[in-house]
Amino acid sequence: MNAPAEPFLASAAQVDQAAIAPLPNSRKIYVQGSRPDVQVPMRAISQSDTPASFGAEANPPVFVYDCSGPYGDPAAAIDIRSGLPALRQRWIEERADTEVLSGLSSAFGRERAADQRLDALRFPGLQRQPRRARAGANVSQMHYARRGLITPEMEFVAIRENLNRQQYIDSLRRSGPKGQRMADMMLRQHPGQAFGASLPAEITPEFVRSEVARGRAIIPANINHPESEPMVIGRNFLVKINANIGNSALGSSISEEVDKMTWAIRWGGDTVMDLSTGKNIHETREWIVRNSPVPIGTVPIYQALEKVGGKAEELSWEIFRDTLIEQAEQGVDYFTIHAGVLLRYVPLTAERLTGIVSRGGSIMAKWCLAHHRESFLYTHFEDICDIMKAYDVAFSLGDGLRPGSIYDANDAAQLSELRTLGELTQVAWKHDVQVMIEGPGHVPMQLIKENMDLQLEQCAEAPFYTLGPLTTDIAPGYDHITSGIGAATIGWYGTAMLCYVTPKEHLGLPNKQDVKEGIITYKLAAHAADLAKGHPGAQIRDNALSKARFEFRWADQFNLGLDPDKAREFHDETLPKDSAKVAHFCSMCGPHFCSMKITQEVRDYAAAQGVTEGQALEHGLQQQSQAFRQAGGEVYIPLQRVD
Amino acid sequence: MNAPAEPFLASAAQVDQAAIAPLPNSRKIYVQGSRPDVQVPMRAISQSDTPASFGAEANPPVFVYDCSGPYGDPAAAIDIRSGLPALRQRWIEERADTEVLSGLSSAFGRERAADQRLDALRFPGLQRQPRRARAGANVSQMHYARRGLITPEMEFVAIRENLNRQQYIDSLRRSGPKGQRMADMMLRQHPGQAFGASLPAEITPEFVRSEVARGRAIIPANINHPESEPMVIGRNFLVKINANIGNSALGSSISEEVDKMTWAIRWGGDTVMDLSTGKNIHETREWIVRNSPVPIGTVPIYQALEKVGGKAEELSWEIFRDTLIEQAEQGVDYFTIHAGVLLRYVPLTAERLTGIVSRGGSIMAKWCLAHHRESFLYTHFEDICDIMKAYDVAFSLGDGLRPGSIYDANDAAQLSELRTLGELTQVAWKHDVQVMIEGPGHVPMQLIKENMDLQLEQCAEAPFYTLGPLTTDIAPGYDHITSGIGAATIGWYGTAMLCYVTPKEHLGLPNKQDVKEGIITYKLAAHAADLAKGHPGAQIRDNALSKARFEFRWADQFNLGLDPDKAREFHDETLPKDSAKVAHFCSMCGPHFCSMKITQEVRDYAAAQGVTEGQALEHGLQQQSQAFRQAGGEVYIPLQRVD
């Protein structure tokens, strides 16, 4: 991180090689929808057969959600200087409600485009013409949904959420004489506790449409980002995660940020926010959007502030408006907008321990005080809606007054802003503009439920998108974990997307290793939440991995995990030989003392007595002592009744 | 880990230097109790003053719980070949209910002592004579408690749990003109949600006695481990964590295990379990106990199994009994005993996905099936109680049938065993023997509450001691985190001690780095649980750290955290210069764009208008617009009422 960055040369830019090798035993598959150009990507993880000593079963591939787009597909030609194919282009064109503009609408965008000094670092691919809704048209997915239209985007996400489950079940059933039993086993799942979420057994395109129409889910899909693979954010879908990237005045070049993006989606980032604040934000963003298969979010006020030399009080609606249009025409899919920071809320933060910690929030607070009136984000909110619906940019209504410490959690400033965000949600929905709501921050565990419940009530179930929350302040260097605890908890309660926190939070800028650590932590937190809610099929991957673990299929155990590389590396530290990967023991107990081996002997013992596994319970009971039989066949017998 | 271990030479053994340097800006203090030899250790973390721009306040030292014993105290002479001072020796002698034996009572112990081939690796310090209760006496802390006796051990833990809070408060009040305000601020804490726990504002020795008497807390304190600093495990005290160490047939030498112990307590392990299964278990244990200021737990069946060449069916009561006495006379403070694995429960595991994953559980299951009767742990349970009370060894009733996967969570095998553990608790309590109950394992979040509630009910609030639980199976390599989520949650619900999980879980043997990662994860999880329960004073450290963070006191922020070294290292990666440690900005935003700086400007702005911080809220409201005043002074105003 500290070495001076190499000068960035657009003409020599290359994809990060670490981000494109397929994951072990994985291949990309595409599930076709109702039309040939709806090709929904998933990752199929193939498995070896169960060893003979455990029953010689075939273990069909497990399908998992895949955010990595064409990266990692050996069939795809990757050149980040050209960008990704525009897979949604035809869908957008077919709707015939947009027009291609002859040039950029934003003054700043035109100025940058004309500046030849930027040529060396500019994205060198085809200079797209921006697209915008025709006059009077509304191109938001919400608008289509409310008119009853099921878009290809909606069908795409429906297929994506189902994870090819039916094919997996069919392949289990066909896997051999015990196929039906295998299918029953792999599909078994504990009932969830959903706190009011409605999780259908199968996601249909119509269900997606209805959720988007009522605002309970969003599909961030700017018409200027046709390269993106549609995904959905809502409490009745799989919990998603966001990864933040972005340079600051102190570090990071364009190529590092593109690398972080491809790296983030390899490990499961569902969306990526570009939070750059340094130089060349505009050019960096173009590189990222053109190469990103996931929706990109930004905080436009950061760039607007750069344009006024960092002086918050000099910000104006005109500068902000030009920035929104600049970024909308580049293809940013959602904007964080801190329109809930009202003048009268600012003094509520004076008694806080850590004041206002949101950058956007503090900028707007300063502006409000300097001008002694409500911010242009609030007074021009409907004007912003008009821009959003012309490109289908979704709102991420920012929590500028989120708590920056346990001390400040759920205070009047935070909760007042939340109510205003709920009202702004209704305004946006009046315009058929998609909305999600940002949430904290730092919240001790016992206050998380209150925060979630207030959000659901006051924002009418618009998707909640939280940063953690961190459940304690005392572990700098481990805030991916302090916040992973809060993230899993609030995801269980109903949060739709979790914004990751890296180990560097509060301390420094994350490098690639930190980005990965943050992502994996949040993937597992999101998955723990899916299990807890009872998301249909969520337990399949756990079941498959645990079966592999029990059967000593080491490579399958690694490959079914979120990070096969690290799992293998850890195993190699103690047992480096390849032969250990098929050994029926592990390093924790050694070859002569293995609980799983003993368990198998228990099963064999039962089988030797003529007990099929299906009858084992009953048989076991029959084999018990006279005292047990006298007790009437209860499994549990009070101690005093046993001799 | 893979380099061949150096031959271990007892005469050259040295303390791990990394474990004894004081933590930065920390010094050990001792709070004296009612007698001069009750000296309760804590760590005082000193802080710098608040910079002038933030108000130039003095920030008194913060006191934190310290498990590290004499290690890290520059005044202590550390030589692991001599062991630690026997601080409880006089208390034990004063009770006049024990006798010093002329030699070891265990046949195996005598055999090892006589084996000259072991001399080179034997602990070279004074060969202690073992101590045992006089005939007919019961030396357990529970026995004393039930007879109304407040032991020095009980007073010690009462002082320890209070964390010198009163002195901290007094020092805040004395810190300057704003002292009372500072005290109010630093002590402010959100109300907890305690799920039936009773958390007094101050822990008195009498409260400790009453909790121990009713079995709701234990003080593991073997009379043969007088070096240990008393600590308490119970739902109405701070949540504790355990770190496992131990070699296996595949790796680790004696010195590595002693290093891991000193390393584990440096970072906050409240107890350490020695789970060794390889050679020289007896000698390794002696080294560990003699040098450990924290209670040591073991699973005696592991060693018993070694004695019968790994053949579970050849285990017998006689061998097990000799092992218990051998370890009790070495000073082990608690024994995991899997007495709840009953014959009739074994078939309940045949339909599991991952069978029996507890090593102890699988050994006992195999024994039960081979002999077709209940195990000697169960049939001789009262004989075991007689041994426990002669040395004051606490039971950790093992969950031999704990689930090894999400699939198997909360199943009939696990819950049947739990009920039996509840019954065995009553038997142990009849003997005034201290008991805690071990718990899972792998449990999805929505089933954790059920597990905790059943344990509280069926085991009459005997302390619960859980391994995680892991909330998903899909992240091998990150199971400290999958389980840290479950640990924080179950700690909140009432678990008294959390057994850590390292990143190597399921994959390999943890090295020192893994031990630290596991410990810090569990310390933060335990602390998150303390905050959530509303443990009095728990938020002080969060408040102090957040105040340091807000005031850009970087070094204080690092030092108040659980891992000052890593926090500093992460900060240095982006801003390595020492001057950056006093800079009023950080690497996330850079010097010209800092939310905390802007927040301070907000406060200054308010102050410039004549608003003291104490009046800021009220004043802020008065300054608002006419529309707001008309609204009657509500902080929140519905959108339609604002012009």
Render pLDDT for B425-469 as a digit per residue (tens, 0 to 9): 999 999 999 999 999 999 999 999 999 999 999 999 999 999 999
Cα gap B211→B220, rounded to integer Å: 14
Q: Which of A473, A402, A469, A397 is nearest to A437 (CA)?
A: A397
Confidence of residue A52 (pLDDT cuts 50, 70, 90): confident
Quick check: A523 pLDDT over 50? yes
Give every CB contact of residue B165 below 8 A, 6+ residues apart in sequence. B63, B202, B536, B537, B540
Q: Are residues A615 and A469 in the same domain?
A: no
Amino acid at A61: P
Cα gap A3→A15, rounded to integer Å: 20
Whether residue B277 lies inside any domain: the answer is: yes
Q: Are residues A247 and A373 in the same domain?
A: yes
Cα gap B74→B583, rounded to integer Å: 32
Q: Are residues B534 and B588 in the same domain?
A: no
CA A474 to each of CA A39, A119, A405, B547, B569: distance values in angstroms, whole numbers, following the listed order: 46, 46, 10, 11, 16
How distant is the Cα of A203 from the closest Cα of chain B, in angstroms? 23
Q: Do A507 and B642 touch (CB under 8 A)?
A: no
Per-residue pLDDT tens over the stretch B349-398? 988 999 999 999 999 999 999 999 999 999 999 999 999 999 999 999 99
**Domain end among B541, B571, B601:** B541
Q: Which of B7, B101, B61, B513 is nearest to B267 (CA)?
A: B513
Does A358 show up as a binding residue in the annotation?
Answer: yes
Whether residue B141 lies inside any domain: the answer is: yes
pLDDT computed for residue A631 by the predictor: 38
Residue in chain A lying closest to B541 (CA): A474
Provide mean pLDDT across the span B207-224. Answer: 98
Q: Do A531 and B561 touch (CB under 8 A)?
A: no
Q: Does the CB of B595 have a partner CB in chain A at under 8 Å? A: yes
pLDDT computed for residue A15 by the predictor: 87
pLDDT computed for residue A118 by the predictor: 92
Q: Which candidate from B250, B427, B636 shows the least CB-CB separation from A574? A: B250
Q: Does the CB of A596 have a partner CB in chain B at under 8 Å? A: yes
Give every CB contact of residue A437 below 8 A, 6+ residues apart in sequence. A396, A397, A399, A418, A421, A422, A425, A455, A459, A462, A463, A464, A465
A137: DSSP letter:
-
Residue in chain B lying closest to A471 (CA): B528
Q: Are residues A535 and A589 in the same domain?
A: no
Cα gap B599→B49, rounded to integer Å: 20
B590 vs A99, higher pLDDT: A99
Cα gap A207→A212, rounded to integer Å: 9
DSSP reduced 3-state for B13: coil
Contact between B270 and B69 under an 8 Å Cβ cutoff? The reply is: no
Interface of B with A in 482-521 (CB under 8 A): 482, 484-485, 488-489, 492, 503-504, 506-509, 511, 520-521
**Domain end among A541, A568, A597:** A541
Provide mean pLDDT across the span A361-378. Answer: 94
Provide mean pLDDT across the span A414-437. Answer: 98
- My answer on whether omega of the bond before A293 falls inside 30° of 0, hence cis, is no
Q: Does the CB of B590 have a partner CB in chain A at under 8 Å? A: yes
Cα gap B338→B391, rounded to integer Å: 20
How distant is the Cα of A64 from the closest Cα of chain B, in angstroms? 11
Confidence of residue A276 (pLDDT cuts 50, 70, 90): confident
Whether residue B436 lies inside any domain: the answer is: yes
Does A465 show up as a binding residue in the annotation?
Answer: yes
Q: Are residues A620 and A521 in the same domain?
A: no
pLDDT computed for residue B339 by the predictor: 98
Q: How many CA atoms lie within 13 A of B317 on its CB side?
A: 13
Cα gap A630→A527, rounded to integer Å: 46
Whether residue A555 lies inside any domain: the answer is: no
* Parallel, antiparallel or unpaired: strands A26-32 and B497-499: unpaired
Q: Are residues A191 and A292 in the same domain?
A: yes
Q: Are residues B47 and B163 in the same domain?
A: yes
Q: Are residues B434 and B489 in the same domain?
A: yes
Per-residue pLDDT tens over the stretch A589-610? 555 556 666 666 667 666 665 4
Residue in chain B lying closest to A603 (CA): B350
CATH code (residue B395): 3.20.20.540
Q: Which of B483, B478, B479 is nearest to B466 (CA)?
A: B483
Cα gap A391→A567, rounded to integer Å: 43
Q: Are residues A123 and A184 in the same domain?
A: yes
Residue in chain B lying closest to A458 (CA): B638
Quick check: A637 pLDDT over 60? no
pLDDT computed for residue A588 by the predictor: 53
- CB environment B233-256: b (16+ within 10 A), e (fewer): bbbbbbbbbbbbbbbbbbbbbbbb
| Residue entry with tokens 């002696």 | B286
Confidence of residue A616 (pLDDT cuts 50, 70, 90): very low
| Terminal alpha carbon distance of chain B | 69
Whether residue A209 lies inside any domain: the answer is: yes
Interface of A with B in 317-356 (CB under 8 A): 343-351, 353-356
Q: Predicted ipTM?
A: 0.93
| Residue entry with tokens 């297929």 | A159
Whether residue B572 lies inside any domain: the answer is: no
Portion of chain A with pLDDT greater than 70, in percent: 88
Interface test with B, best of A415, A427, A481 (most B CBs within 10 A): A481
Per-residue pLDDT tens over the stretch A173-228? 998 888 999 999 999 999 999 999 999 999 999 999 999 999 999 999 999 999 99
What residue spans of B67-221 are helical by DSSP H?
Answer: 89-94, 107-114, 141-146, 152-162, 165-173, 179-187, 205-213
User: Average pLDDT over chain A, rounded to whole?
Assistant: 90
Q: Does the CB of A529 have a partner CB in chain B at under 8 Å? A: yes
Contact between A340 and A396 under an 8 Å Cβ cutoff? The reply is: no
Q: Which of B250, B261, B284 is nearest to B515 (CA)?
A: B261
pLDDT computed for residue A437 by the predictor: 98
- Domain coverage including residue A589: 584-637
Interface of B with A in 31-90 (CB under 8 A): none
Number of domains in chain B: 2
- DSSP class per residue in B132-177: EEPTT----HHHHHHTT---HHHHHHHHHHHTTHHHHHHHHHTTST
Q: Do B570 and A528 touch (CB under 8 A)?
A: no
pTM of the model: 0.93
Per-residue pLDDT tens over the stretch B489-540? 999 999 999 999 999 999 988 999 999 999 999 999 999 999 999 999 999 9
Asked which of A369-373, A411-415, B376-380 is least confident by mean pLDDT, the reply is A369-373
Cα gap A439→A431, rounded to integer Å: 23
Task: Read off φ and ψ for residue A120, nearest 5 degrees.
Answer: -65, -25
Q: Are residues A212 and A144 in the same domain?
A: yes
B246: DSSP letter:
-
* Parallel, antiparallel or unpaired: strands B233-234 and B217-218: antiparallel
Q: What's the farthest any 2 CA atoms get from each other in chain B?
A: 93
Per-residue pLDDT tens over the stretch B230-270? 999 999 999 999 999 987 655 458 888 899 999 999 999 99
**Domain end among A478, A511, A541:** A541
A contacts of B562 (beta carbons < 8 Å) = 474-475, 478
What residue spans of B222-358 are helical by DSSP H?
Answer: 254-266, 281-290, 300-307, 317-330
pLDDT computed for residue B177 by the predictor: 85
Per-residue pLDDT tens over the stretch B569-600? 999 987 777 666 666 555 555 555 566 666 66
Q: Does the CB of A598 have a partner CB in chain B at under 8 Å? A: yes
Quick check: A612 pLDDT over 60? no
Whether residue A562 lies inside any domain: the answer is: no
Angle between helices B479-493 and B512-533 (to 10 degrees): 30
Q: Are residues A194 and A82 in the same domain?
A: yes
Task: Read off φ and ψ for residue B9, nearest 5 degrees.
Answer: -120, 110
A576 vs B508, higher pLDDT: B508
Q: Does the CB of B474 have a partner CB in chain A at under 8 Å? A: yes
Angle, CA of A575, A578 and A580, to the nearest 5°: 45
A contacts of B349 (beta carbons < 8 Å) = 599, 602
Whether residue B576 lies inside any domain: the answer is: no
Per-residue pLDDT tens over the stretch B608-634? 654 444 344 433 333 333 333 343 333
Portion of chain B with pLDDT greater than 70, in percent: 88
Q: Are residues A535 and A591 in the same domain?
A: no
pLDDT computed for residue A594 by the predictor: 62
B contacts of A549 (beta carbons < 8 Å) = 354, 405, 473, 506
